[in-house]
């Protein structure tokens, strides 16, 4: 399931230097990770690193010319000895054999899985005979991690597998995979045949190129992987037997497995989205037109934004106000916040602007005023477009703070210049500020603020009126 431990390969490279080393040979051997042994043709230990000595509790003198067979169970040793013989008698100059076999250090003890590499050492003195080098690495921790990972994989409805450098399936990690693809014995099969074969006949040339790009990226630099990933198929309809019509919609995720800077293998994850796609199709059938699922999601978000955001001013709508403002006043009623207030704005002489410059110009002014309110409102404030040219801001603050905010907005709008075609005009707003009284409804609060707004208009417009007497400020 796992790739060869990189430390073993590093150890092998180190050993190639030993023949030429003139000093510190034993210390170099002891520094090698895992187990390292040099055996003669009689399977006797000539050299052993510190890792092997510590594992069995021996010193170097005790282990010299000890038969390696004494450290293995009988049934395991017969296999091990056979592998040594294959390496010794191999015709190639640098034979190497890798395999996995358990090793136990005490009688009756549960074996720990080890990964072994055997190779023949080239000697200058033929009197030494043919020597075999043995590398062993304890992979019990890796196997336990794999078991935990496997339990996770087999319990989720995903198909997970890896492909090797030839785009063939090397390992599978999910019991759900064979059921998903409707095929058993997947190892050794090409990904194009297993996953895409049934669909490639109807694919566009671009989609086919995306399938072939999976094979092409293997063995290439990881720096170029992003270019290939962009064209990989991300979702397909997999139907190995169209006559039965039991195909599945599969979403595909790819993860490169990089070795020495190159894409050596690839992890492929399949998510069965058939139920989701079918549900989406049912929803689309009830709608005006059939769209893809992503378009439906975007449309849903747009509907939500339209419901709570006024597209012209950017302020919240009355629909949002019902929930957000009710929650604000509910918190004030239960003394979760100390104060709550609101201000209602109305654009002065807005009807005259519409009559003189047209409704499009009126929309420009409304958008500019709304943007100015959004810029000046603190994060906790709730800016609302009530309707027409009437705007409001609810705050979790008292009358003084809300009055200061209202004045700041009024002055900023007063200094604003709106370009309407070939003309530039200035607009003003009037406002009424009221502080919430515990137990007071939203409608009653707005009615009081509305009365103060009309008082400001009666006093000449371009001003803010507040119920300072009720708030106890005078």
Q: Edge-to-edge strands of the sheet including 341-347?
A: 382-387, 390-395, 341-347, 429-435, 464-466
Residue 388 CA to residue 351 CA, distance in Å, equals: 10
Task: Name the helix (H) or strand (E) containing 12.
Answer: helix 6-15
Active site amino acids: 389
pLDDT recorded at residue 469: 66
Output the pLDDT for position 29. 64
- What span, in angstroms and rounded, lies between the C-alpha atoms of 177 and 470? 72
**What pLDDT, on the 0 to 100 scale, is given for residue 466?**
94
How confident is the model at residue 19, as a pLDDT? 47
Per-residue pLDDT at 21 exceeds 60: no
Distance CA 160, CA 253 (A): 10
Give the number of other Cβ atoms within 10 Å of residue 4's Cβ.
11
pLDDT of residue 474: 47
Q: Are strands 158-163 and 169-172 parallel, antiparallel or unpaired?
A: antiparallel
> What's the rounded Cα separation, in Å, for the pair 37 and 116?
11
Q: So what's the pLDDT on residue 139?
A: 84
| 354 has a pLDDT exceeding 80 | yes
Q: How far apart are CA 314 and CA 308, in angstroms?
A: 9
Please state, rounded to an integer, the average pLDDT across all residues of the chain: 83
Domains and CATH numbers, the chain: 6-142 (3.30.450.20), 156-272 (3.30.450.20), 276-306 (no CATH), 309-466 (3.30.70.270)
Q: Vertex 449, ends 448 and 454: CA angle to 5°? A: 100
Give the 3-state secondary structure of residue 472. Answer: coil
Residue 408 has pLDDT above 70, yes or no: yes
Query: Does 4 have pLDDT greater than 50?
Result: no
The confidence band for 138, taking pLDDT boundaries of 50, 70 and 90, is confident
pLDDT for residue 238 is more than 90: no
Residue 395 has pLDDT above 90, yes or no: yes
For residues 107-119, give the mean pLDDT: 80
Structure-model confidence comparison of residues 154 and 208, the more confident one: 208
Vertex 214 angle, CA 208 and 219, to 5°: 145
What is the arithmetic mean of pLDDT over 60-73? 86
Is residue 328 within 8 Å of 438, Cβ to Cβ?
no
DSSP for 228-289, written as a single string: HHTTS--EEEE-S-TTT---EEEEEEEEEEEETTEEEEEEEEEEE-HHHHHHHHHHHHHSSS
pLDDT at 37 over 50: yes
Sheet (strand 96-103) strand order: 45-48, 35-39, 131-138, 112-121, 96-103
Indicate the DSSP class of residue 394. Answer: E
pLDDT tier, 394 (very low <50, low <70, confident <90, very high otherwise): very high
Nearest CA to 47 out of 35, 37, 61 is that of: 37
DSSP of 73-103:
-HHHHHHHHHHHHHHHT-SSSS-EEEEEEEE
Query: Environment class of residue 373 by beta-carbon count within 10 Å: exposed (0-12), middle (13-18) or buried (19+)?
Result: buried
- pLDDT of residue 304 exceeding 90: no
Average pLDDT over residues 378-383: 93
pLDDT at 180 over 90: no
Q: What is the mean pLDDT of residues 221-231?
A: 91
Kindly indicate the confidence band of residue 319, based on its pLDDT and cuts at 50, 70 and 90: confident
Burial letters 305-327, b for 16+ CB under 10 A, else e: eeeebbeebebbbeebbeeebee
Element spanning 174, H or E: none
Query: Does the pLDDT at position 89 exceed 70?
Result: yes
Least confident of 259-268, 329-338, 362-371: 259-268
pLDDT at 153: 59
Q: Any idea how long the chain is? A: 474
Q: Environment class of residue 61 by beta-carbon count within 10 Å: exposed (0-12), middle (13-18) or buried (19+)?
A: exposed
Of 345, 336, 332, the closest CA to residue 435 belongs to: 332
Alpha-carbon distance of 339 to 330, in angstroms, equals 11
Integer CA distances (angstroms), 67 to 45, 58, 63, 361, in order:
6, 14, 9, 99
Report the alpha-carbon distance of residue 419 to residue 365 in Å, rounded: 9
């Amino acid at each position: 399931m796992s790739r060869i431990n990189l430390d073993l390969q590093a150890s092998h490279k180190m050993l190639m230097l030993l023949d030429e080393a003139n000093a510190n040979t034993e210390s170099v051997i002891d520094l090698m990770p895992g187990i390292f042994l040099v055996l003669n043709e009689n399977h006797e230990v000539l050299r052993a690193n510190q890792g092997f000595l510590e594992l069995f509790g021996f010193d170097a003198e005790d282990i010299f010319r000890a038969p390696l067979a004494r450290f293995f169970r009988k049934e395991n040793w017969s296999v091990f000895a056979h592998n040594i013989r294959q390496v010794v008698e191999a015709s190639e100059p640098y034979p190497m054999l890798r395999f996995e076999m358990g090793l136990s250090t005490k009688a009756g003890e549960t074996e720990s899985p080890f990964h072994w590499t055997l190779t023949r050492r080239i000697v200058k003195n033929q009197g030494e005979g043919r020597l075999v080098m043995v590398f062993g690495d304890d992979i019990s921790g890796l196997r336990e991690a794999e078991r935990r990972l496997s339990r996770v994989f087999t319990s989720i409805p995903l198909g997970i597998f890896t492909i090797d450098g030839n785009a063939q399936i090397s390992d599978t990690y999910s019991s759900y995979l064979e059921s998903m693809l409707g095929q058993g014995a997947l190892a050794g099969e090409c990904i194009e045949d297993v996953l895409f074969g049934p669909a490639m006949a109807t694919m566009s040339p671009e989609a086919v190129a995306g399938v072939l790009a999976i094979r092409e990226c293997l063995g290439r630099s990881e720096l170029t992987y992003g270019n290939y990933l962009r064209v990989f198929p991300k979702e397909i309809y997999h139907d190995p037997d169209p006559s039965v019509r039991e195909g599945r919609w599969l979403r595909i995720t790819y993860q490169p497995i990089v070795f020495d800077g190159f894409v050596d293998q690839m992890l492929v994850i399949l998510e069965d989205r058939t139920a989701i796609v079918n549900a989406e199709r049912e929803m689309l059938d009830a709608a005006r037109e059939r769209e893809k699922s992503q378009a439906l999601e975007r449309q849903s978000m747009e509907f939500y934004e339209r419901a709570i955001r006024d597209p012209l001013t950017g302020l919240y709508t009355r629909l949002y106000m019902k929930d957000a403002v009710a929650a604000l006043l509910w918190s004030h009623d239960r003394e979760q916040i100390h104060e709550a207030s609101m201000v209602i704005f109305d654009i002065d002489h807005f009807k005259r602007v519409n009559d003189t410059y047209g409704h499009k110009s009126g929309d420009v002014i409304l958008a500019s005023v709304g943007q100015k309110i959004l810029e000046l409102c603190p994060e906790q404030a709730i800016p609302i477009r009530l309707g027409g040219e009437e705007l409001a801001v609810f705050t979790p603050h008292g009358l003084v703070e809300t009055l200061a905010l209202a004045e700041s907005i009024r002055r900023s709008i007063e200094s604003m210049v709106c370009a309407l075609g070939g003309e530039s005009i200035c607009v003003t707003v009037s406002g009424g500020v009221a502080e919430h009284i515990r137990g007071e409804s939203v409608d009653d609060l707005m009615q009081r603020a509305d009365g103060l707004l009309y008082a400001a208009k009666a006093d000449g417009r371009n001003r803010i009126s507040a119920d300072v007497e009720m708030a106890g400020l005078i």
